[in-house]
Amino acid sequence: MQVDDKQSTPPSGDRERVGLLLLLLAAFGWRLNGLTSQSLWRDEVDVIWLAIRPLAETVSMFVSPAQNGPLYFLLMRPWFALAGSSEYALRYTSALFGLLSIGLLWQVARRLLPGSGQLNLANGPFLAALLLALNPYQLWYSQEGKMYALVVALVLVSTWSWLEAMRRGTLRRWLLYLLFTSVCIYTHLLSALIIPVHFVWFLLAWPLNRERWRGYAVALSGFVLPYLPLLWWQWHYLTTLDYATGYAFTPFTDVVRVLLLDHAGAALAQRSIYWIVPVVFLVLGGLLVGPSEQEVEASPSPLLPVAPALRVAMLAVWLVGPVLLLHGVSLIKPLFVDRYLIWIGPAFVLLLALGLRVVHHSGGRWARLIAGALLLFVAAQWGLNGWQQSAVPNKTQLREAVHFVAERRQPDQLLILQIPHTHHAYRYYTSDFGKDPFVASEARLAPWAEGLWTHNGLSDEQARAEVDRSMQQMTEGFGYVWLLLAEANSWDGRRLMDGWLEEHAVLIEAERFQGIEARHYMLDKATK
């Protein structure tokens, strides 16, 4: 009996989907590996505290000035009630969001990049999904308990819905775009920069924009109502010239350098910048040569029906536009933090995938071998960098420091926390990681005191006198003091409190951890 080859061989589209499924499984395992090897840092502990505090306080963030990400904290609240507040429970959600982003990028890429339906270097969408799965910067935030992995996923959902609305033009799809983008912005305020990106996309999408302007106008007008509260939040800060954001101004050259290192996967690698040259070469190849690339499409093609050069221009706008917009805002009020723009990462890997496809199609067997070698180089480098991020301590080791102190500290010994915000971490890491790790935490923390703030404009002589008075009062009745120093320079840049302890106490033991130090002192009066 003969077997029909056409029936026994899976269609190319099915093979691509099987390959995508295997990629997703591997990427999920990669994100779960070492998920709790690093301690939570203070912002991650804050996520738990902000989510589980009284519901009215979390909801009030929607109408409170200068609050960011209220929807994320609200979404995490039922999760902590269900799964508890362990490090794993917190970061597991980010791993899920990071995984979701890979599948969403594949859908977005099918509408912006040429594909082949095969598992080869001609398949731009599959390459983009693979590269996002490997990218160390995306991996980092898929293993951190913050909203940034979710923001990437939501920006991709917003972009996918925009592309589908442009392709099909129904009112329902434009309303979905409005909904997803609104959720995105209430998860992180600066993701609102995706709206001007999509607006420029609409201008570029010739001639399709002539048919879709009514639906898009409805979506744009719909953004007014959800964002009135956002305007209320920021009104004071937009109209108060002397308000300080807390961020230092970052020159544009430094902005570009930091973002390039991040998205090229070398930010935490601690190796020469020259290692990212092949990545930059491929991105530039996709940007400059991609528009002339002959397209080989699976059928039916979901590509956005505009010229290839316009689709590449859309990717360039996605990558560069938010950077320029945020820098423009920062000229008035410094706001640049690289993770705020993590959601331009998909545009970076889309151009990188297009660059690999360009090399693959540039001619003959040697071109395919070179493209394969470049992909292996990027994958190996990113894989190594991703492993190092989990294996080498590079976050503040709050967990280790708190355990060190808690295991040695006696109930009658004073604990001073510098910076004072560290008290959330101490409460958390001495808890049972249940539904509310902060309940009854004052008993575990006491007796304790906030470290002294010395950025008060006083002269050194005046400040020392004030520190002496405050420390004498703070340590009254105690013979021994424990001191936790994390980000101490931001609170006591002159280290006057340290100096007082060196003068009035004897250091018994000290231990340094990544980003934090624990010290145990015996006060002079304890020896008298």
| pLDDT computed for residue 7 by the predictor | 46
Please state the pTM of the whole predicted model.
Answer: 0.92
Fold of 398-526: Rossmann fold (3.40.50)
- Extended beta strands in 119-219, E state: none
Contacts by residues 203-209 (CB-CB < 8 Å, ≥ 24 positions apart):
204/306, 204/310, 204/313, 204/314, 204/317, 205/166, 205/304, 205/306, 205/310, 205/314, 206/306, 206/307, 206/310, 207/306, 208/166, 208/304, 208/305, 208/306, 209/166
Residue-by-residue pLDDT tens, the chain, 528 positions:
344 444 444 555 688 889 999 999 999 999 999 999 999 999 999 999 999 998 888 887 776 666 677 899 999 999 999 999 999 999 999 999 999 999 999 999 999 998 877 788 888 999 999 999 999 999 999 999 999 999 999 999 999 999 999 998 889 999 999 999 999 988 998 899 999 999 999 999 999 999 999 999 999 988 876 666 666 666 555 555 555 666 788 999 999 999 999 999 888 776 677 888 999 999 999 998 877 764 545 445 688 999 999 999 999 999 999 999 999 988 888 889 999 999 999 999 999 999 999 998 887 788 889 999 999 999 999 999 999 888 888 899 999 999 999 999 999 999 999 999 999 999 999 999 999 999 999 999 999 999 999 988 888 899 999 999 999 999 999 999 999 999 999 899 899 999 999 999 999 999 999 999 999 999 976 555
Residue 317 corresponds to which amino acid?
A: V
CA–CA distance, 251 with 255 (Å, rounded to integer): 6
Q: Are 356 and 374 in contact (CB under 8 A)?
A: yes
Name the segment(s) of the chain with CATH classification 3.40.50. Answer: 398-526
Helix (H, G, I), strand (E, B) or coil at 106: helix
- Work out whether strand 414-418 and strand 448-450 pair parallel, antiparallel, or are unpaired: parallel
Q: Which of 69, 43, 143 is nearest to 99 (CA)?
A: 143
SS3 content of the chain, % helix, strand, coil (to 5): 65, 5, 30
CA–CA distance, 189 with 185 (Å, rounded to integer): 5
CA–CA distance, 148 with 154 (Å, rounded to integer): 10
| pLDDT computed for residue 114 by the predictor | 85
| pLDDT computed for residue 6 by the predictor | 46
Token pair in block for residue 104: 């969403």
